[in-house]
Amino acid sequence: MKNGNQIMAEALKEQGLTYVFGIMGHPVIELAVCMQAAGLQYLGFRNEQAACYAAQAYGYLTQKPAVVLCVSGPGLLHVIGGMANAQVNCWPVLVLGGSCPEDHEGIGGFQEWPQVEACRACCKYAARPPSATLIPTHVEKAVRLATYGRPGAAYLDLTATLLTQNVEENKIVRVAPCPPPPMSYPDMRLIERAADIFTAAKRPLVIVGKGAAYGRAEDAVRELVRSTDAPFLPTPMGKGVVPDTDEHCVSSARTFALQQSDVVLLLGARLNWMLHFGRPPRFQKTVKVIQIDLCAEELHNSVSSAVAVQSDILPAAELLTSALKSRRWRVDLHGAWWSELTAKAKKNKEFLHRMSSDTSVPLNYYTVFKHIQDVIPKNCIICSEGANTMDIGRTVLLNDLPRHRLDAGTFGTMGVGLGFAIAAALYCKEREPKKRVICVEGDSAFGFSGMEIETMFRYKLPVIIIIVNNNGIYGGLDKETFRQMQSSGDPTQVTPPYSLTCETRYEKMMEMFDKKGYFCTTVQAIQQALKHSLEVTDSPSLINIMISPQADRKEQKFSWLTESKL
């Protein structure tokens, strides 16, 4: 005889899953224990959302979902924010939610909630196994749907009665492990048409998206770019598919490149708000879009593409490269298009150099990031969140390897940073123990999940947390202004909504674990703190960097967020 707890744990193991992240409690206490007994690795978190962020980031890095375990009612509701992020971000994750006994439903059971219905809007598959014998069937389907096609979230509802149900072993349905997702190949007629359009372009541009990173298409995309000398732009998490330091990268001329290109090749990137929907004023009205995406429903979603190819990025990039090579076509590195891009990039780089050379106190963003970049290993995984912290950081902190930047992503979710960093640290521990994870947080963003630092200590994860502290959301107040405002009346009336407490000493959280954090106000202090932190290999480090509350990004010709014209 086996009960539902044992069957579930063994079914997860049989599907090749490795990690479980969560917070245990009624009715999944015994399930958590059974998971460890089955050989799964369990990490207990301090907040269910952070556990879900970690699980989905691990899924992105490995193409295999991790599991989130949560209790019924409020526990699952906390996870739903993470599930929505995974679904919008297209990362695989499997959520297991305990729920009240079936005979308590409808009469006010403990933490009773319509959980399957609540999850359906933010996942690809939501179900409640009707009996313990069928648990393996639903686990396999959940794993398959989370990883096949466009990845996303799956949810299984586990009632207390299901988990404690005892069944004979010979009645348990046996299910084979879910095979890896099949590779989708493009229609060669569309590839040839795309090659014709691309070679006719006077100002071509390649945009490399997160889908290319997830699809392990870096070698093919690099060959496409380098064999054609086409300029490319990465999306935030497309960074590193082709190195940021590659001569073909035109991130320093991003706005100009988007505005002036006449043909855009999209490789696993969506024309959503992050790319201004592919519409004017950021794009020309006459721009021709060649769209390559795994998800057929994404094709023609915002603008009508000249060519829309449903395919995995890897084979499509390889075949398109061959088609372009057969035409013996390259972009002239000394022609007008490259000359204009280079001139614009040079002007923007001069601004960055000028800003990052200003070491006066209080520091600005660019100086902080420049000196972080100078010290951290070039192959580290960078997790980042926060408004200006994340946006400015991606222009200065470089990635030369794919899947080495994790940030707020398509959903723009705050609170993801420490969960992402935990997943990245586990990934490195398994594969490259010497690789480091750097988690760069705004002070507001850190507040969403700061207690997960205890999780890092418990599991001996050497994440370096850097807080770029400007006393607020977007920007706060200087110390004297904050003091005067606090003493002038009711704080709820006089404290600006964007303001946080001035010069909060977040680094003192390290003292809870008999460790020392770092409070930095100068470049020299930042460099020393980073060097000391890089020597720590069995626990997290925390560096709190004060910058000017008025520090801001480079002035934008257009708003970073395209506004509606309705």
Q: Are residues 364 and 337 in the same domain?
A: no
Please report, as a single letter, which amino acid is at residue 76: L
What are the φ/ψ torsions at residue 416 (nearest 5 degrees)? -80, -20
Identify the domain containing residue 399 by its residue range: 358-546
Q: What band does 518 get if pLDDT is binned at 50, 70 and 90? A: very high
Residue 557 clears pLDDT 60, i.e. is over it: no
Q: What band does 125 get if pLDDT is binned at 50, 70 and 90? A: very high
Q: Kindly state the helix (H) or strand (E) to which residue 506 belongs, with its residue range.
A: none
Check residue 562 and give its pLDDT: 72
Neighbours of 244 (CB within 10 A): 18
Per the CB < 8 A criterion, the answer to whether 27 and 71 are in contact is yes
How far is the C-alpha of 192 from the C-alpha of 186, rounded, in Å?
Answer: 11
> Which residue is associated with the tokens 């890095």?
61
Per the CB < 8 A criterion, the answer to whether 13 and 38 are in contact is yes
Angle at which helices 188-199 and 313-326 cross, to 10°:
50
> Which residue is associated with the tokens 């509802």?
157
The alpha carbon dihedral of 316, 321, 326, 331 has a sign of positive
| Average confidence (pLDDT) over 161-178 | 97
Domain presence at residue 8 = yes
| Structural tokens at position 459 | 């599991």
b/e per residue 352-367 (b: at least 16 CB within 10 A): beebbeeeeebbbbbb
Check residue 566 and give its pLDDT: 58
3 Cβ contact list (under 8 Å, min separation 6): 132, 163, 164, 165, 166, 167
Check residue 94 and give its pLDDT: 98
- Provide the β-strand partners of residue 156: 96, 127
Please report, as a single letter, which amino acid is at residue 217: A
Mean pLDDT of the chain: 96
Check residue 564 and give its pLDDT: 62
Q: Are residues 155 and 193 in the same domain?
A: no
How far is the C-alpha of 41 from the C-alpha of 12, rounded, in Å?
Answer: 11
Which CA distances in Å does 45 have to 136, 220, 452, 491, 511? 26, 38, 7, 33, 20
Q: What band does 559 get if pLDDT is binned at 50, 70 and 90? A: low
Check residue 489 and give its pLDDT: 84
- The helix/strand/coil state of 558 is coil
| Average confidence (pLDDT) over 544-561 | 78
Domain presence at residue 180 = no
Q: Kindly state the helix (H) or strand (E) to which residue 108 belongs, with its residue range.
A: none
Q: Are residues 72 and 165 in the same domain?
A: yes
Neighbours of 504 (CB within 10 A): 16
> Which residue is associated with the tokens 């994440």?
463
How far is the C-alpha of 333 from the C-alpha of 263, rounded, in Å?
Answer: 17
- The helix/strand/coil state of 138 is helix
Check residue 556 and give its pLDDT: 58
Total domain count, the chain: 3
Q: What CATH number is given to the structural domain containing 117?
A: 3.40.50.970
Q: Are residues 416 and 515 in the same domain?
A: yes
Closest CA to 206 of 189, 171, 182, 230: 230
Per the CB < 8 A criterion, the answer to whether 173 and 133 are in contact is yes
Check residue 338 and give its pLDDT: 98
Check residue 552 and give its pLDDT: 76
Domain presence at residue 555 = no
Q: Considering the chain, what percentage of its residues have pLDDT values greater than 90?
A: 95
pLDDT digits (tens, 9 = 90+) for 299-310: 999 999 999 999
Residue ending a domain, choose from 117, 136, 171: 171
Residue 476 clears pLDDT 80, i.e. is over it: yes
Q: Are residues 207 and 247 in the same domain?
A: yes
Per the CB < 8 A criterion, the answer to whether 228 and 283 are in contact is no
How far is the C-alpha of 278 from the C-alpha of 99, rounded, in Å?
Answer: 44
- The helix/strand/coil state of 15 is coil
Query: Which ranges of 179-327 would DSSP assign to H, the alpha helix?
Result: 188-199, 210-214, 218-228, 254-260, 313-326
Domain presence at residue 182 = no
Domain presence at residue 176 = no
Query: Which of 258-262, 315-319, 490-494, 498-502 has the least mean pLDDT?
Result: 490-494
- Provide the β-strand partners of residue 264: 205, 289
Closest CA to 372 of 273, 464, 491: 464
Q: Are residues 392 and 496 in the same domain?
A: yes
Residue 143 clears pLDDT 60, i.e. is over it: yes
Cross-sheet strand order for the sheet of 19-22: 41-44, 19-22, 67-70, 93-99, 153-159, 125-127
Residue ending a domain, choose from 311, 343, 375: 343
How far is the C-alpha of 409 from the C-alpha of 429, rounded, in Å?
Answer: 24
> Which residue is associated with the tokens 């106000």?
521
Residue 530 clears pLDDT 70, i.e. is over it: yes
Q: From its phi and psi, is residue 247 left (phi > 0), alpha (psi between -120 and 50) or beta?
A: alpha
Q: What band does 560 get if pLDDT is binned at 50, 70 and 90? A: low
Q: From its phi and psi, is residue 68 left (phi > 0), alpha (psi between -120 and 50) or beta?
A: beta
| Average confidence (pLDDT) over 414-432 | 97
Q: Are residues 210 and 108 in the same domain?
A: no
How far is the C-alpha of 298 from the C-alpha of 296, rounded, in Å?
Answer: 5
Check residue 68 and give its pLDDT: 98
Domain presence at residue 481 = yes
Residue 558 clears pLDDT 90, i.e. is over it: no
How far is the C-alpha of 426 from the C-alpha of 54, rounded, in Å?
Answer: 10
Q: Are residues 403 and 427 in the same domain?
A: yes
Closest CA to 469 of 377, 534, 546: 546
How far is the C-alpha of 405 from the C-alpha of 391, rounded, in Å?
Answer: 12
Closest CA to 159 of 123, 194, 192, 110: 110
| Structural tokens at position 101 | 């006994």
How far is the C-alpha of 70 from the C-alpha of 36, rounded, in Å?
Answer: 16
Q: What CATH number is given to the structural domain containing 219?
A: 3.40.50.1220
Q: Are residues 24 and 86 in the same domain?
A: yes
Residue ending a domain, choose from 139, 171, 203: 171
Q: What band does 419 get if pLDDT is binned at 50, 70 and 90? A: very high
Q: Are residues 369 and 518 in the same domain?
A: yes
Per the CB < 8 A criterion, the answer to whether 21 and 51 are in contact is yes
Domain presence at residue 136 = yes
Closest CA to 23 of 70, 63, 65: 70
Domain presence at residue 563 = no
Residue 428 clears pLDDT 90, i.e. is over it: yes
DSSP single-letter state for residue 111:
T
Per the CB < 8 A criterion, the answer to whether 24 and 97 are in contact is no
> Which residue is associated with the tokens 């009469």?
107
Q: Are residues 392 and 426 in the same domain?
A: yes
pLDDT digits (tens, 9 = 90+) for 284-341: 999 999 999 999 999 999 999 999 999 999 999 999 999 999 999 999 999 999 999 9
Q: Are residues 529 and 418 in the same domain?
A: yes
